[in-house]
Chains A and B, each alone.
Chain A
Amino acid sequence: GEDVEQSLFLSVREGDSSVINCTYTDSSSTYLYWYKQEPGAGLQLLTYIFSNMDMKQDQRLTVLLNKKDKHLSLRIADTQTGDSAIYFCAEWEETGANNLFFGTGTRLTVIP
């Protein structure tokens, strides 16, 4: 079955870059996602990457995918205090169950 792992906590200083990592086991994942969840709020889709891509950049966000190692990362440049949240990695398989499987979430704390 699907298994998506993330480290639980990350602290960075304001202005530094943050890198949040995720590993997954399902090699047939078609899309991989990063969702952001602020306290008591819903899941906000930040970005996603198709499995045949290595990298995707969207303003301050850079997603890197190493399909061989089944490793996904999210880099946030110039991290701001408003970036403090829980970040969930998720994967979706086009030919399989039509739903998202989420990682355990990484709580990012930005220190002013």
Chain B
Amino acid sequence: AAGVIQSPRHLIKEKRETATLKCYPIPRHDTVYWYQQGPGQDPQFLISFYEKMQSDKGSIPDRFSAQQFSDYHSELNMSSLELGDSALYFCASSSTDQSFKAFFGQGTRLTVV
């Protein structure tokens, strides 16, 4: 079965650079969530989109932005990267009829040096 696809799997950036993370949800899923998981920490919710509109916002820094496109894929844009942004970034998706059931991608490991 198709799963949530995230790219890239690994990314190394320098401080103050910009990074773009991509997420391709499970087919027919219309909701996408982004989570950040720091080393040894639990995942923290950043932002979510439903039908290409932002539906909820968590602890997402102002330096980050995200959007969902017409094909339902989503991108998380991170600017002015800081060392503390180094983390595993997860995308999850769900469908309207089972919105309580989120499936996660494998994550993108971002390392800021």
Considering the chains assembled together, what is the distance between the CA atoms of A30 and B100 in angstroms?
A: 9
- What is the minimal beta-carbon distance from B94 to any residue of chain A, in angstroms? 9
- Asked if A44 contacts B100 (CB within 8 A), the reply is no
- What is the minimal beta-carbon distance from B38 to any residue of chain A, in angstroms? 12
- Asked if B90 contacts A42 (CB within 8 A), the reply is yes
Q: Select one of A42, A43, A94, A105 contacting B100, CB under 8 A.
A: A94
Contacts of B50 in A (CB 8 A): 98
- Asked if A97 contacts B56 (CB within 8 A), the reply is yes
- Asked if B104 contacts A102 (CB within 8 A), the reply is no
B64 interface hit (Cβ, 8 Å): no
Considering the chains assembled together, what is the distance between the CA atoms of A14 and B77 in angstroms?
A: 44
Q: Select one of B31, B90, B104 contacting A45, CB under 8 A.
A: B104
Contacts of A88 in B (CB 8 A): 42-43
Q: How many residues on the A side are at the interface (Cβ–Cβ under 8 A)?
A: 22
- Asked if B56 contacts A99 (CB within 8 A), the reply is yes
Considering the chains assembled together, what is the distance between the CA atoms of A31 and B102 in angstroms?
A: 11
What are 23 pairs between A and B in contact, CB < 8 Å? A35-B104, A40-B109, A42-B104, A42-B105, A42-B106, A42-B107, A43-B90, A44-B104, A45-B101, A45-B103, A92-B102, A94-B100, A97-B58, A98-B50, A99-B33, A99-B56, A100-B33, A100-B92, A102-B42, A102-B43, A103-B42, A104-B41, A104-B42
The 10 A-B pairs with the shortest beta carbon distances in the complex, nearest first, are A43-B104, A42-B106, A102-B42, A99-B45, A31-B100, A42-B104, A102-B43, A42-B107, A104-B42, A98-B56
Apart from A31-B100, A42-B4, A45-B103, list 16 A-B contacts with CB within 8 A: A35-B104, A41-B107, A42-B107, A43-B43, A44-B104, A45-B102, A45-B104, A48-B101, A97-B45, A98-B48, A98-B55, A100-B43, A100-B92, A100-B102, A101-B45, A102-B43
